Structures are given as C-alpha cells and as structure tokens.
Amino acid sequence: MIKRPLGFLCLAMVAMLYLFARKNPAPRLEYDLSQGKSFTVVGKVYRKEAVIQRDYPVSVLYLKNVQDGDTAHGDTKIICYLKAGQPEPELGSCIKVKGKLKTFERASNPGQFDACSYYQISGISYRLNQAEILAKTTEYNHLAQSLYLLRSFLAEQLESNLPEKEAAVMCAILLGEKGSMDKELKNLYQQNGIAHILAISGLHVSLLGMGFYQFLRKCGVPMKAAAVCSALGMALYGMMVGFSVSAVRAILMFAILMLAIVCERTYDMLTAAAVAAAFVLLEQPLYFYHSGFIFSFGCVAGIGILLPALTEGIPQYREKGKRWESQLVKGLVGSVGMAVITLPMNLWFYYQFPVYSILLNMMVIPLMSLLMLAGLILIAIQLLNPMAAVPLVFLIRGILRLYEFAMQLCNYLPGRLFIAGQPKEWQIMIYILLMIAIVVLGKRMKLLCRWGIVAVAMLLLCI
C-alpha cells in the first residue's frame, strides 16, 4: 500500500477531484447548427501530426486558446485538417485559419465509441476540414519545433530501412506516431489486447529511461548527475512524442524515481502513481472518464497492490537447470494477474475481453526490450554505416512478423473474444471490494481460496 504521507495527501486530492468530476460532467458544446459552414479562427499550434486519410497523407494541427472573431473561448481547443499543399506552421506559432466546421459524432448505440465525449474531455470542441492558413506569426516555440523536426527525421530513418508496414509499427512504438499505421493492422493489435505496446507508456519509458541512466553510469557519470540527465531526457522525449495520459503518468513516475536517487530516498511506486494522478487530474478532472487514464493508473495500482496478493505462495522453480520453467511460470502468473486487473476496465469500455491476450502478452512483452533496442541501434547505425543495419532490419521484421502471425492465429481460434456487455456500477464495486478483501486477508488465506474469490468476482462481473 501507499507508505508515504505525500502519497496519502495526493490520494485524498484524487478522491476530491473524482467527486468534482462526478458533479461536473463534460459540457455539451452545441455546434451542430454550424456544421458544414465556413469558420475563421485564430489559435496557437500546440501539436501537429500526419495521418493517412483515403490513402493520402494529411497534416493535422491542434490549436488552443482559440478565438472566433472577437470572441475568446478560453481553454477551447480544435483540430484542423489542412488542405493538400498547405505549409505546416511551427509549433507554438499563432495562426489564422479558415475551414469547414465538423462536429464529433455522439454514440447512438450502446458500446459505440462516443467521439464527442472523448474529445470534450481533452477540451477539443470541434474540427475544421479543408483548412487553409490565412496568416501566422513569426514567433514560435523553438524547442518544441526542434523536437518535432527530430521526430520527423527519426521516422524517415525508420521508413528508409524498413518496409512500410513494419516502419509504421516502429514509428508508433518508438515515436508515438500512429497516424501512418494501416487501420486493419491497428485493429489487429487492439482486438488481440496488445495495443498497449503502440502507446508510449511505462514499458517504453522504463526501458528507455533506465537504459539511458545505466548507460550514463557505465560512462562514469556520477549517480545524481545521471539521474538528473535521465529525468530531463525523458521529459524531452515526452515533449517529442506527445504528452498522452499514459506518457505523462510514466514520465512523472520516472522523474520521481530519479528524484529519489538524487535525494537518497526510497522510491515507492504507489506514492509516485498517486502524485502523478493528482498532477494529471488538477489539469483536467474529467480525465476520470478517459479510458487512457483508467487503464494507465488502474494497471499501476493493480500491479502494486493486487498482483502481489494474487501471486504470493505460487511455487516457482529455483533449482539450477530449471530457469526457463521459472520464467515461464512467472510470465504466466503475471499475465493471468494482469487479466484479472484489466477485466473490469475492458468490459466497461469495450464490453469484451480478448481471451488469448493472456498468452500473447507472455510473448510480446519480453521481446519488446529487444525490439526497441534494435530500433534505436538501427537508427544510429543507419547514420554511420547503412550496410551494417541489414541484420537489425531482419531482426525487427522477424519480431513484428511473429507478432502478426500470433495475432492472426488467435483470430482463428475459438472463443477468442469473451463478450459480456458493460457491467453495472454495483458489479464493478463488488469486484473491487472482493479484490480489496484478497489484499487485506491475503496472507491469512490459502492460494486456492484467493483464486476462488477471483473466480466468484469474475462471475458476478459478467452475469
């Protein structure tokens, strides 16, 4: 459990922000009557990306501090899809743009994705299609623009070495750039429950951040200086790939870990998660309704609190010569435990659970470190000696082809999706209470009894 006073304070703040979010739902902004009409607005570019629409690349701008004529809309944000041939403005610049207003679709059926609510939580009110830039300022954010150019350069290096499909996946994994991914391939990852590897999260930040920290230490950099440099490096990385909810959580927790090293204090994962959650929710309390927030922080809480209680007492091979059996047991137990943690979240947001994700994650996650390392070395070697990058290209293609083959195989297996519908709130609460009982009474209960309670909780969740 959380062991620090700061963690309890942040947890209390999170609880108060949750109550605030419950009483203040996302406002319904009515732009339907203006849909299709030409709008001219002024705003500041805070993010931009390239996406594929109808097999053509389209530049997308995200604007904040939007003004419509003489009317300022406070924290309103919009998305602009630029016309072909329009020059991209720099990040941080203010632009005047004209386009056709398009509202986001609301869910008309249970289980349908509610784009309107999703974007309203992020403060985005509408989008402009066929947008045309009328004017822009010469001042912009030089650091953000430089990082964007670096991201584009790194993406070009991957695209020049790898086939189109593999390059798109590696751009998503390393750079958070999913706009060029084929929709069918993206859906394949989502339907099989391993789309989390495509989003910048704790897995990516821990591999890159700790890898960079260990590299600096081996180069002789003092421990505290290495920690500070690693924290700053991950902050710049987050700025480059875009601060999604999962990325912000992971980077804040990593920064707290590095701060613990600098201050020579013990790091507590749950305290760090509580602090990160408080920071995220202070910026926008409505993130309580955001699937990315629920999954990111829910998994951390489950790993830190529930997983140890579920796995305590499970025999593991320690004898010499049985190391692979030990790793197999550890991987299977961890994957099943994560399925228990994510089941209510999957059913709440998607009404279904990918059954074979338990086995897929046992293969995917151990190979991720090798895949990311190969991608980083590939970029570095490409700049020095392109011919030396060939073995890495084969390695990356092999791992990604293995992923795709395993997912397609699972699609042919019976019962790949467990469809139970969205549970009621009381079912979620009972599930959580039973998990709390396992945590509190775990050491007094036998292993079989603990997993019996899990089975009962899962049954009650799905009836």
Closest to 300 (Cα-Cα) out of 445, 214, 196: 196
pLDDT at 463: 79
Sign of CA dihedral 336, 340, 345, 350: positive
pLDDT digits (tens, 9 = 90+) for 285-333: 888 888 888 888 888 888 888 888 887 776 664 555 556 666 677 777 7
What's the pLDDT at 442? Answer: 73
> How many C-alpha atoms does 142 have within 13 Å on its Cβ side?
1
Position 1 scores a pLDDT of 47
What is the model's pLDDT at position 315?
A: 65
Q: Do 151 and 49 meet the contact criterion of CB atoms below 8 Å apart?
A: no
Q: Which amino acid is at 147?
A: L
Residue 30's pLDDT is: 60
Q: Which of 125-134, 142-151, 385-394, 405-414 has the lowest mean pLDDT?
A: 385-394
* pLDDT tens, position by position, 248-284: 999 999 999 999 999 988 888 888 888 888 888 888 8
Assigned token pair, 134: 């009328």
- Average pLDDT over all residues of the chain: 83
Provide the sign of the torsion angle of the four alpha carbons 133, 27, 248, 245, taken in this order. Answer: negative
Mean pLDDT on 181-193: 86
Percent of the chain at pLDDT exceeding 90:
22
Strand partners, 40: 98
Place of tokens 């630029």: 82
Asked if residue 380 has pLDDT above 90, the reply is: no
Which pLDDT score, from 0 to 100, does residue 217 have?
A: 92
Give which of 414, 397, 418, 398 is closest to 168, Cα–Cα: 397
